[in-house]
Amino acid sequence: MKINQDKIKKMSVLLEKENYLYSRLLKISENIQDTVVKNDMEHLSKLVETEDSIFTQAEKLRQERMDVMLAVKNDLGLSDEEYGLGKLMEFMDEKEASELNKLRDNLLENINKLDSLNRNNHILVDYSMNLNAKFMNLLVNLGQNNTIYRQSGKVQSGDNVKRRILDRKI
């Protein structure tokens, strides 16, 4: 038994659209990485909004593709264990199966790259937030400890001593 050509074409179109969206997500994640490094929070916010929107679109396409695959599974009378694109390709012509396999592999590759890049971005954002928190803590606590070492090596402390962020001898 063969799969309906319209359903094969529909799966192919959906996979192509998903690949396109995931390649866009990959570019956005690369931009997010650059934006975090530049500490441009306004641009980061816009990128995250765009990323969320594209991810929502990709999820809708994935669900639509899964619905088509479920319909094909039911048409073929397959069990739930046999429900997957790899199994469905067994019921296609070699050319169609090869095309879908290529699209699936490309999608998996994009998803894996995106996952890796997002993990790196997460680490980078955590590091940046930690660094900003330490910097803010330094600024808040500046002036609370007025200990200054004099040229003799003895500590001078007191309210009349001004604290400077950088002491430089010229």
**Considering the domain boundaries, does residue 63 fall inside one?**
yes
What's residue 88's pLDDT?
Answer: 87
**Considering the domain boundaries, does residue 169 fall inside one?**
no
Angle at 12 between CA 10 and CA 18, to 5 degrees: 100
Q: Are 155 and 148 in contact (CB under 8 A)?
A: yes
Residue 104 tokens read as 């699936």
What's residue 39's pLDDT?
Answer: 83
CA 38 to chain centroid: 18
Summarised one tens digit per residue, pLDDT across range 110-158 is 999 999 999 998 998 888 888 888 888 887 776 665 555 556 655 555 5
Domain extent, residue 43, equals 5-156
If one counts every other C-beta atom within 10 angstroms of the C-beta of residue 36, the result is 20
Q: Are 24 and 113 in contact (CB under 8 A)?
A: no
We report the CATH number of the domain holding residue 115 as 1.20.58
What's residue 42's pLDDT?
Answer: 93
